[in-house]
Structure 1
């Protein structure tokens, strides 16, 4: 079992509704004894009861069921609420629960009533929304290996894929994953699968619609931007980059000149592009990034920085290159590129400075340099959530420094 416990996705709102929903679920579990649950659960095969569409989502069958769902709600509720705000997130949460519950009561017909409860359908809906809005952000995960806790990071894209596969396999074998059905039967297993799948489909569609209507800002790091190879860039910029990829390269030479006269192609002149070197370098960088050729993109970046005076990538290209290196765990190169970005960008993003400090602390064991990076963040530019992250990083760096972490100075810093 992999347990999520946090994410690096940017949050623009405090998790007011998420905390309130967790509190309400715990209070409902403590206040209502299990023997009284049937009055408030979602009953399948006994008609349509709209009140149950809301009440069943606040009930849980045991402490394990409750804690598991609340951990997922905390991690992924933060991301969704962080983009929507508390009232919109509350409407989304209750709406997902009501619609998937109504779907079950309308579609499942059985002579023996089936009682269902829990937030599993909503959780799968939130997972799908996070997949659409923040597929390349990381989730901090905890698992156990030989009774030893192991902490690691996994992208939301792979995390959601893992749990979808897990849910399909587990539902096929046992009919019970992340939700509780109080009476087992073949129909109950179908209801379980429909509960999870309908929640995921609803969440995916809702997230896509909100994104299409520009009611949520993912800064072009959403699933569709990733699939179209334009992360960090608008659609218009992505189209320009795609068109540019078909133009003649500065280094294009369709017929290699022969070493000696008399060879085929000896008298054919070498073709050269009239494209501006800065534009050509930028186009080549983008092309390598779109094709996932990170090492080639880094080489183009370094060569162009040395040979072309005043050359700088655009903001989205900087961020694409940094993210590509982070995805490949190339911590040293990523730190170097982030440092170049902070030095050369006219308006560097504070998030990049935070990420650089995080890499220096957690991956490269360079707490002193991380403290220097964090000290350069101007006051008042961070949101409350990012300011909390900054303070946490400062504490980690100071702890490493006090523990005597050896750090060598070099020219890079």
Structure 2
């Protein structure tokens, strides 16, 4: 287990990470609508969640479902969450890492980046188990792309987090995120809880790593070196 708590990296190119905050608020609002408003959680998941067998046309839902076209569920499922812990975990990762990645990409690029990573994660999950009738929901795939971007952009920044059974440690990003990635990899390939979209996490991470050099602002090695020295200075 790894839960990030704080990184302390200041924003350099913007004052407010509007997209990160908008995604956070959107996920919270959708969660409240899902569990406390019509049409109810089962209908919301069936209507907006990604069901691989439905996406590939081997299974058909009852009339009226899904609420959007099947390809759009690759994106709409990102904003649904199955429990409060599911929501809080994803939003914590997005809160800690998202603002700095948005700062490095700009608002519109970051929005596109997050949605592409989320859709790619969903598609990875669907291809791994195309006959599955279990809905995939959650922002984990998009968040995994954000985590990959953070690792590339700020590998040596020290992150406060809770590790294993809640041990607080302050480690460089490459150790903290590397530990998280190894957990995802082991869980995906060695039979962890099949109720979690582990391959979606891996798919989002890989696509995020590929897209980050293409979607970040122009790279200035002198500025990057100065920022790295500033971030590594004792506090």
Fold conserved between structures, TM > 0.5: yes
Q: In 2 relative to 1, CA 47–139 (structure 1 residues): closer, same or farther, beyond 3 Å?
A: same
Q: Distance in 1 between matches of 2:187 and 2:124?
A: 22
**1:139 match: secondary structure:** strand
- Map 1:145-224; keep pairs closer than 5 Å: 151-171=168-188, 172-176=190-194, 180-181=195-196, 192-210=197-215, 215-217=217-219, 219=221
Number of residue pairs aligned between Structure 1 and Structure 2: 213
Find the counterpart in structure 1 of residue 112 from structure 2. 91
> Is the CA contact 2:151–2:173 (under 8 Å) kept in the aligned structure 1?
yes
Segments of structure 1 that go 5 or more residues without pairing to the other structure are 182-191, 223-231, 233-315, 324-350, 360-413
Separation (CA, whole Å) in 1 of partners of 2:164 and 2:121: 33
The answer on 1:102 being equivalent to 2:109 is no
Partner residue in 2 for 1:122: 142
Deviation per CA, 1:57-83, whole angstroms, max 9, x where unpaired? 000010010100000011111121121
Task: State the 1:198 CA deviation.
Answer: 1.2
1:154-199 CA distance string (max 9 Å, x none): 11111111001112233424235xxx55xxxxxxxxxx34312211
Structure 2 residue 68 is matched with structure 1 residue 47 = no
* Kept after mapping to 2: 8 A contact 1:133/1:218: no
Q: CA deviation at 1:144?
A: 8.4
Residue pair 2:105, 2:215 contacting (<8 A) in 1 also: no
* SS in structure 1 of the partner of residue 135 of structure 2: strand
What residue number does 2:21 align with?
19
What is the aligned-residue RMSD (CA, Å)? 2.7
* Aligned counterparts of 1:100 and 1:195: Cα–Cα separation in 2: 4
- Of 76, 79, 97, 2:100 maps to 79
Measure, in 2, the Cα distance between the counterparts of 1:196 and 1:218. 30
Matched ranges for 1:229-378 at <5 A: 232=225, 323=229, 359=235
The corresponding residue for 1:67 is 88
Match of 1:302 in 2: none
TM-score, normalization by structure 1: 0.47
Unaligned runs of 5+ in 2: 36-40, 57-69
Partner residue, 2:77: 56
TM-score (ref. length: structure 2) = 0.79
Between 156-165 and 90-99, report the one with greater CA deviation: 90-99
